[in-house]
Amino acid sequence: MRLNAQVSGFEGAVDFVGKLELVNDAALNETDVEVRELYADYNADRYTLRAGRQINTWGVADLLFINDTFPKNWVAFFSGLPLAYLKLGSDAFKLNLYPAFADLELIVARFRKDELPNNQQFVMDSPFPPSTPRDVDEPSDDPELNLRLSRYLGSWQGSAYFSYTHFRTPAFQLKGKTLEGEFPRLITYGASLTGPLWNGVLSLAAGYYDSLNDRDGTDPGIDNSQTRLLLGYSHQIAEETTLGVQGYAEWMHDHDAYRRTLPAGFPERDK
């Protein structure tokens, strides 16, 4: 059960928005208050500034995230909640600048991890027993930086992306009888291009994930560096109906090193 409360308003150049929810999980017998968004905007002629908890989203794909490294709620997604609940808010400052040559968006945020399914709500496959103790170190005081530069090239929009953040799912190592987890450092570089083609919209995206804590690929607990590519096309076939197709490719770097160090009994990921 979810009860929603929303407030918004403005005073001169300042806007504010607040969205709160009272959430009751009958399966877990838990009740909590969630602040989904709570921010203020300052609007000037050549820039806007937003401060507070905010939901940010980048990219050109549907449910395939290459240059969007912002936190996600996968519990909500796999529970069948509306897609709006897939995105989590971050405590952040966002600056939008509008110089003549491009639009610039800069986001400095406090790290927030993804909400992941657990064995209390889902049937999970893990090489470790559910009772294995876990100790996870979260980089809550370590700010992250996200930058997007966008401009139109005729009727096409091109964007370049940069993120200095962490993986939002923990990497675990078994030390003694305890699984110790951390959120490894991650830098991403990317680009996208979208525009009209054959009475539809063509979307292209690419991203490079630089796994700073495992650049040689020898730590099987940390994701290797990756290259991700996407090709998408959508076409409106009726007044309120759009048909879209997407192709996605992901290439793991240093796959041979990953295979050599993978512990026995662990499932192997494709290259």
Residue 54 domain-assigned (yes or no): yes
20 in the same domain as 48: no
R_g over Cα of the chain: 21
125 in the same domain as 26: no
pLDDT tens digits along 28-78: 677 878 889 999 999 998 999 999 999 999 989 888 999 999 999 998 888
pLDDT tens digits along 252-265: 998 888 788 777 76
194 in the same domain as 206: yes
Residue 105 domain-assigned (yes or no): yes
214 in the same domain as 85: yes
d(CA 40, CA 257): 47
13 in the same domain as 100: no
The answer to whether 127 and 163 have CB atoms below 8 angstroms apart is no
Task: State which residues form the domain around 229.
Answer: 44-261
The answer to whether 94 and 52 have CB atoms below 8 angstroms apart is no
Give the pLDDT of residue 230.
Answer: 97
Taking Cα atoms as reference points, which of 116, 23, 62 lies closest to residue 231?
A: 62
The residue ranges of the chain whose pLDDT is under 70 are: 26-28, 119-120, 122-133, 265-267, 271
55 in the same domain as 30: no
d(CA 265, CA 218): 17
117 in the same domain as 85: yes
11 in the same domain as 48: no
d(CA 87, CA 68): 11
Taking Cα atoms as reference points, which of 86, 84, 59 lies closest to residue 72?
A: 86
Give the pLDDT of residue 157.
Answer: 96
Give the pLDDT of residue 34.
Answer: 86
Structural domain total, the chain: 2
Give the pLDDT of residue 247.
Answer: 96
Residue 266 domain-assigned (yes or no): no
31 in the same domain as 118: no
